[in-house]
């Protein structure tokens, strides 16, 4: 699994930007195409970068800082769609932003945000369970004994582990190839990668140029495909045609969208047609071709926690 992001550079810097990516040793430019993110007539290019580590961020900043002043606008566009200019974002912050944007790559949630600037003051909301005073803790310096004691007390009062992010949601399908096509077309999901289970039971990453027709001939078929759109990542697992998947352990997936996307998806459901289980003004539930129930709701219309 690799990190992926878009590097937006002026047309005249495409070649040297490619060299900067290659210098990382574990990164490469997969696709280079004219960018429409800054305007159709803007002479910029989008370079799709795949990297096994974030060492490439250092080589990109080294390259960018070597450019003569005034430096042009060079930005990184994350998987979630956020654009960050190199000139306005430091190296450490950029690493933290990418890790938070794609937590499924390392599967090491505690490392997310470790490159952010030190937080001097930890603030708390008011209400039941909130501490009576603010505890000052310094990551880079040495905290006072009083602050250390207070921090220990707060830590002891915390109940259970803190979940930082959702790695992915795994669903099972009978036909992985068709499922890939459906989720890419219907939800506009990006293909992150595929894996297969080897003879020893270990998951083996499949190459980026994986071909279903060739895999059928060699017998090295993918077992799981990772797809993502924004904060939602699906691990779509193939269980074969012989298994009946009338209804799995996953009851429903609920996703929030804006009003425009809500209308478009509802129309798409009716056009295909797909089975609508429940329909309202701001939310509806449908069953996809692989017996997964989806709730599509306008953001804010369905509370995450009952109140």
Domains along the chain with CATH numbers = 3-111 (3.30.70), 168-245 (3.30.720), 250-307 (3.10.180.10)
Query: Distance between CA 46 and CA 291 in Å, rounded?
Result: 37
Which of the four pLDDT bands, split at 50, 70 and 90, describes residue 3?
confident
Query: Taking 80 as the threshold, does the pLDDT of residue 292 lie above it?
Result: yes
Kindly report the pTM of this predicted structure.
0.47
Distances (CA, A) of 52 to 13, 28, 70, 150, 259: 23, 9, 32, 40, 36
Q: Which of 229, 126, 111 is nearest to 169 (CA)?
A: 229
pLDDT of res. 75: 93
Between residues 109 and 15, which one has the greater pLDDT?
Answer: 15
pLDDT of res. 131: 39
Q: Which of 196, 205, 241, 245 is nearest to 223 (CA)?
A: 196
pLDDT of res. 133: 41
Query: Taking 50 as the threshold, does the pLDDT of residue 263 lie above it?
Result: yes
Q: Average of pLDDT values for 147-165?
A: 54
Query: Taking 70 as the threshold, does the pLDDT of residue 100 lie above it?
Result: yes
Q: Average of pLDDT values for 12-27?
A: 90
Which of the four pLDDT bands, split at 50, 70 and 90, describes residue 155?
very low
pLDDT of res. 118: 41
pLDDT of res. 128: 38
Which of the four pLDDT bands, split at 50, 70 and 90, describes residue 79?
confident
């Amino acid at each position: 699994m690799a990190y992926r992001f878009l590097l937006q550079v002026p047309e005249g810097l495409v070649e040297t930007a490619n060299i900067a990516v290659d210098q990382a040793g574990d990164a490469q430019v997969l696709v280079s195409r004219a960018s429409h993110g800054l305007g159709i007539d803007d002479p910029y290019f989008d370079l799709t970068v795949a990297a096994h580590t974030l060492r490439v961020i250092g080589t990109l900043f080294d390259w960018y800082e070597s450019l003569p002043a005034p430096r042009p606008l060079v930005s990184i566009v994350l998987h979630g769609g956020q654009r960050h200019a190199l000139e306005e974002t430091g190296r450490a912050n950029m690493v933290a932003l990418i890790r938070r944007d794609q937590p499924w790559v390392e599967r090491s949630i505690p490392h997310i945000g470790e490159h952010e600037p030190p937080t001097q003051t930890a603030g708390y909301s008011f209400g039941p369970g909130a501490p009576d005073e603010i505890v000052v803790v310094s990551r880079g310096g040495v905290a006072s004994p009083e602050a250390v004691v207070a921090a220990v007390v707060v830590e002891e009062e915390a109940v259970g582990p803190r979940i930082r992010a959702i790695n992915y949601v795994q669903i099972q399908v009978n036909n992985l190839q068709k499922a890939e096509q459906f989720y890419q077309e219907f939800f506009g999901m990006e293909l992150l990668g595929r894996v297969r289970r080897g003879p020893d039971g270990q998951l083996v990453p499949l190459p980026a140029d994986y071909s279903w027709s060739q895999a059928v001939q060699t017998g090295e078929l993918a077992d799981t495909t990772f797809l993502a759109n924004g904060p939602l990542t699906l691990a779509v697992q193939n269980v074969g045609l012989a298994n009946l998947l009338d209804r799995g352990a996953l009851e429903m997936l609920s996703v929030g969208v804006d009003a425009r996307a809500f209308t478009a998806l509802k129309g798409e459901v009716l056009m295909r047609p797909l089975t609508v289980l429940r329909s309202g003004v701001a939310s509806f539930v449908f069953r996809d071709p692989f017996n997964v129930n989806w709730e599509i709701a306008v953001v804010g219309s369905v509370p995450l926690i009952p109140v």
